[in-house]
Amino acid sequence: MAKDQGAKAPAARRPKGAARPTPPAKPSAAGASSRAATAPPPRPPFNPTQFAREVRAEARKITWTTWKETWITSVMVFIMVTVTALFFLVIDGSLSFLMQQLLRFAG
């Protein structure tokens, strides 16, 4: 077991004169009903211009792969597909042969 597993971290010391943190409020039945009655804050209206600006800003952050990286990745995918196809061809052929032998033996 690692040293830090199961052990609690030492409590952080408060500076002298600092206020003690308040615990989170516990929900009560009365609080829940008053929260349900209040509506969520209104959303700002949709601004297509601002949306387009944000999309362009995010699009500038994209890093595109080089032609060499794309080519290498494509070749690797082709190799893996070929290996997988050969694997399933062998498995399918073996199971087919076994089924034919069982049916020949039973018949």
3-state secondary structure of 45: coil
For residue 15, the one-letter residue type is: P
The C-alpha atoms of residue 99 and residue 91 are separated, in whole angstroms, by: 12
pTM beyond 0.95, yes or no: no
The C-alpha atoms of residue 3 and residue 74 are separated, in whole angstroms, by: 45
Instruction: Give the pLDDT confidence of 25-73 residue by residue, as tens digits.
Output: 666 555 555 566 788 888 888 899 999 999 999 999 999 899 999 999 9
Q: Is the pLDDT of residue 2 over 60?
A: no
CA 57 to chain CA centroid, nearest Å: 24
- Write down the pLDDT at residue 53: 95
Instruction: Please say whether the beta carbons of 14 and 20 come within 8 A.
Output: yes
For residue 54, the one-letter residue type is: E
